[in-house]
Structure 1
Amino acid sequence: MTQESLSRSLKEQTNLGPETVAAALSKAATTPAATKGQVEGSTALVADTRQTKLNVSGWELEGISISGQETSIIVPRAKVTFDIGRCPQRACFQQTVLLSHTHLDHVGGLPFHVCTRNMLQLPPSKVVVPQGFSAGVRKLMDAVLELQFSPAIGYEVLELEAGQNFELPSGFLCRTFPTTHAIPSQGYVIYSQRKKLKTELQGKSQAEIKELRLSGVDVTETHQVPEIAFTGDTTSAFLDAETNPTLEDALKAKVLCIEMTFLGDDVTVEEARGKGHMHVSDFVAHAHRFQNDSIVLIHFSPRYKRSEILHQLDIMLPPVLRAKCVPLLNGIE
């Protein structure tokens, strides 16, 4: 494929119109566990959707997440992708890659992301990694460029400490929170930033506020609103960890993307924890923690078929929790 044809193919991905959910909504009327409006903030997208795009709580997400194969969750509005798996084409148009950890099914597509953006003359990739992983990422890129006989390519790698702010090129803010996986890992929260009138000035007249502004007084303050959170691979232990302000924001973000690798009795809760993953029983045990409007369940084991996933969620999740959970089933038969 030539550079021109690849460029055309990739750019077509960004021109796709929003997916229709009319059929899904009509089915929702007969699906109690996923009925729109059953609980405040419940998603309008029926839980057994086959859409590759999800529209949840005002946010469009797309991508794929299958345990051991690939995970990449694309958020076009924020111009980020959570993890990079095998780098779906549209992920190339999101400048920032937020890596939860560096297992191959989450990091394997990084060279494609960096090299494709360079070939299309897009701004260089920005890659955010847990502490201590930047050197490994650079070694990965050096090896790929050597194999390709390529000159140096520009990209940026940033190690983000827990609670540290990172201003995304899209204008959103990003922070990390600790998670508990088999190797060092972290989750992310994306915040919108909104200016509001300072609390102490509320109640004053417009004339008074205008006079203050003209005199050089800053009359506004920035409010950060947690919009989307992503756990990456983790056990439920991160929910029991020491209180962390960013974690608390993750649990009240409008949308939470959380891993749900194991369902049913084929893998015990203890075995799931030993593998560094979530079991649905642990998720249910922490149901009271989730104040999110919508919860996108990701990273199901490939041992499960679509019908098995939906059945287990229907019987395992309390109705209120089930109503706001949407499993990402793209790529699952």
Structure 2
Amino acid sequence: MSRGKYFGRIFFVFTMFALLLTGCEEPMSNVLDPQGGAGKEQLALINLSVYIMVFVCVVVFAIYFYVLIRFKQKPGDNTIPEQVEGNMKLELLWIVIPIILLVILAVPTLQTTFSLAEKAPKEQRDDVVKVKVTAHQFWWEFEYPEYGFKTAQELHIPTGKKVFLELQSDDVVHSFWVPSLAGKTDLVPGRINRMKLDADKPGTYKGRCAELCGASHALMNFQVVAEKPSDFDKWVEKRKKPSSEPQTVAQKEGKKVFSQNCMSCHAIDGTNLKVKGDKAPNLTGFGERKKVAGLMENNEENLDQWLKDPQSLKPGTYMPGFSHLSKKDMSSLQEYLRSLE
């Protein structure tokens, strides 16, 4: 097989593989189909960059083929072509044009960058929601300072309103990314970064950490739940006055197991537990969350697997396994956690 055919086949295989990967992202996770204003601003920049690159490629290839044909050596012609070295007009031309193109790209890029990093208004407004985001290895904490509560793994936002985020890290560098709503913003220890996002329509949008941060970086996922303003207000009221007290005997036993094993790290609002941990996700409303640890569907089987051996599911997590619990205690703990609303 000739070398040309060999490299041609390699190129074909990689091209097909790349096209196959373009179908791996689920809906609601597509940068090129933004579902909010911030994503649309960034898509406009992507399109502008593509238009400039296409324009440059067309011009360069047009000149290349023109020169290839126009100045092709003719049979019997051994004369030296006219030399244009030191042509001031040409040199100015290929210096000035790239500068103009860079300015055309730089101005809207800077405008969009400052727009997306805008600070939240100091006063409380009905059309604005403020959230403090803290990244941990390997989970996300969301605090709503105006409402006075914290949650984890699910960021709830109302549609049609601007959501201003303050981003910080508790340990190493992370990166906050919701492909369908906004671009990436780093979370750096000791520093607060800002960004804003919004959603045009209700839905659940995938979020993830986009900066290598440890063994379970690829599993550091979260969800943005966009709801109608009326539904968001109902969710806020439930979080402010959660139903966290056990109602059945099994749930009461589960609460006791939780207090003995979990509350030094986890917090649950709306209970009479005296200690509320802040080292792990707040579990208030856990029963209504869609995912366990941001990984698996929130059901009995997955919760059981997570509680028994979290390291096998999310390597590097600080949560210990509870396989030492009796079957009864494990069942009671799960029932209590699933009852939290």
Q: TM-score, normalised to structure 2's length?
A: 0.22
Please say which structure displays the higher CA radius of gyration.
2
Higher-helix-fraction structure: 2
